Amino acid sequence: MTFASKLSAHRHAAFTAYVQLYEQGLLDDNLLPISSVLQPELEDEVKEMLADVEKRAGMAKVSMSVDPWARLEEDGGSDFYLSVLEWEGSPPLLMFTHRELIRLGDGTGGPVLHRKGKPPLKVTVSPAGRISANDPVIDKAKRFTRLVFWSLNHARMSWENLDFSYLFFPKNLVVDEVWEERRSWSEEHLADLLRQELTKTVFPLMVNAEAFVKQFGCPNDLEIVQRHLGSGRPLKFIGWRDDALSDEEIEGIADSYRKTVDEIKELVRYPLIVAEALPPRMNFLIPILRPKGDVPSTPVEPPMRTLLIPSLTGVLLLSRQEMEYAFLLPSILRSIYMSLTAHSLRTTLFPPITSSDECKLLQTIPISLLTVAVTAPSSGERLNYQRMETLGDTVLKLMAGLQIMAEYPLWHEGYLTKKKDHAVSNVRLAKENLKRGLYRWIIRGKYFDDD
């Protein structure tokens, strides 16, 4: 047989060879190899690979997330770990936990708090050994912790329950005699009301403003009041009002208390309390976004102030320093919680069991970076793993592709693509997640949900 050119001869030979391969059953109907002729032991793997990529189930039942505050089984005993919390402008606090904390701050991913009109506040956490659960300071710390958190979270707490996951106590306690006197008087006053059956309910750390004024006058160092004793949102105390009210102001008070003007006139006794709503922003870990330019385009209106009737109002008996702890500690705890979760992941899944370079690299991942990597968007945090996920998917596909090409040098590119798709499929990754229990370290709960 003669051909017009060498190219025609080559094409005919290639076609004839491919026809023979098909007739011998080595090609499918799409003229693609059924399996590797040189690696017949891979035939089952190839058939499995040729199947469609498995679809991921929409939901999967998993156990609860790890509790980074819980005592480790290997620790045993009932001692507490001691740490010191410090930030500028406030006396340092001792922190007692069931699990040893890690050092945070000074460039190691410590909490940074952002308050309106003030520079960022950097918090340091310094482990300081252990302390016996029988030490007298532990009982004091339980009462101090309850005092601080009760002010803003009493609706979710029980006054009798002193079993906290963490405890706080001032490192260098300076007794504030003024506030100690007020709280002591309040306990006696409430006990008298109960004995005389003038009330059936008492509210710890909260006293009627009218009774408070009769006993202590009108001090200006109050911090928090409530429109109704024992109920309603806490309000920031601003001051006292002695001058007479206008008709418009009386109508405003009547609306706020949902009473008639005549009823309010009967209740008004001077001085009145001036208060305003607390800032709605309580998560101080999120930076405050500044408007474009150095000066806002429109002036910011001050919070609206309200007038309260002392006979109906409650006064919270906490000092300014104690209230600062109450406002800032939840955000600090949230940051420590997230860092401890990331640290637990690193020590549990990346333990230094060998001296391999891979283990060493995993152990050196900064806590701040690892925290972002385990924070889900549902947590509501400013930083989460979405950006890292984009980069991780790209790197994973690249590495999987290189590995498969090196492992199967004789495979057709269609097979390589299928194999890669199986290797990096969502269902494969989800199963690996469940197998290793990685979901236990994913931070999903929002601020205040977990802490």
Preceding peptide of 136 cis, ω within 30°: no
pLDDT value at position 451?
44
Residue 373 scores a pLDDT above 60 = yes
Least confident of 51-55, 85-89, 295-299, 317-321: 295-299
Do 268 and 254 contact (CB within 8 A), yes or no? no
The pLDDT, as a whole number, for residue 21 is 76
**Going by C-beta distance under 8 Å and a sequence separation of 6 or more, which residues neighbour residue 264?**
250, 253, 254, 257, 309
Q: What percent of the chain has pLDDT over 70?
A: 84
pTM tops 0.85, yes or no:
no
C-alpha 248/C-alpha 254 separation (Å) is: 10
Element (H, E) at 82: strand 80-86
Q: Which residue has the higher pLDDT, 398 or 57?
A: 398
Mean pLDDT value of segment 239-259? 91
pLDDT at position 144 is 95
Average pLDDT over residues 188-205: 85
Provide the percentage of residues in the chain whose pLDDT is more than 90: 40
Angle at 429 between CA 424 and CA 432, to 5 degrees: 135
Instruction: Write the pLDDT tens digit of every residue in 36-47.
Output: 444 455 556 556
Q: Is the pLDDT score of 431 beyond 90?
A: no
pLDDT at 37: 45
Distances in whole angstroms, Cα of residue 252 to Cα of each of 89, 220, 276, 403: 39, 24, 14, 73
pLDDT tens-digit map of 255-270: 989 999 999 989 998 9
| Highest mean pLDDT: which range of 10-19, 35-44, 50-59, 73-82 | 10-19
Over its C-alpha atoms, the chain yields an Rg (Å, rounded) of: 34
Instruction: Give the angle 152-153-154 at the CA atoms, nearest 5°.
Output: 105
**So what's the pLDDT on residue 233?**
85
- Which residue, 93, 124, 165, is CA-closest to 321? 93
Mean pLDDT lowest among 13-27, 50-64, 85-99: 50-64
pLDDT higher at 106 or 287: 287
Length of the chain: 451
| pLDDT for position 301 | 65
pLDDT score of 83 more than 90: yes
- The reported pLDDT for the residue numbered 444 is 87
Closest CA to 343 of 68, 63, 65, 96: 68
Strand partners, 239: 274
Residue 360 pLDDT more than 90? Answer: no
Task: Give me 287's structure tokens.
Answer: 């930076």
Cα separation, 138 vs 126, whole angstroms: 19
**Residue range 120-128: mean pLDDT, rounded:** 93
Supply the pLDDT for residue 340: 92
Residue closest to 279 by CA, chosen among 209, 336, 320, 328: 328
Q: Which one has a higher pLDDT value, 348 or 128?
A: 128
Q: Say how far apart CA 97 and CA 168 lie, in whole Å.
A: 9
Mean pLDDT calculated for residue range 344-360: 71
Between the alpha carbon of residue 282 and those of residues 65, 129, 205, the distances in Å are 24, 31, 22
pLDDT class of 140 with cuts at 50, 70, 90: very high
Q: What is the band of 53 on the pLDDT scale with cuts at 50, 70, 90? A: low
Rounded Cα distance, 418 and 423, in Å: 9
32 neighbors 412 (Cβ within 8 angstroms): yes
Q: Which two tokens stand for residue 206?
A: 């909260």
Instruction: Provide the pLDDT for residue 170.
Output: 95
pLDDT the model gives residue 282:
81
Local confidence band at 129 (pLDDT 50, 70, 90 cut-offs): very high
Nearest-angstrom CA–CA distance, 72 and 327: 29
Quote the CA–CA distance of 306 and 233 in Å, as a whole number. Answer: 13
Tell me: pLDDT of 319 over 60.
yes
* For residues 248-257, average pLDDT: 91
Per-residue pLDDT at 19 exceeds 60: yes
Of all helices (H) and strands (E), which one includes residue 214?
helix 209-216
How confident is the model over 21-27, as a mean pLDDT? 69
Residue 86 parent element (H or E)? strand 80-86
Average pLDDT, the chain: 84
φ, ψ at 11 (rounded to 5°): -65, -40
> Cα(316)–Cα(230) distance, rounded to whole angstroms?
10
Class of residue 365 by CB neighbours under 10 A (exposed 0-12, middle 13-18, buried 19+): middle
- 217-231 CB burial, b ≥16 within 10 A, e <16: eeeeebbbbbbebee
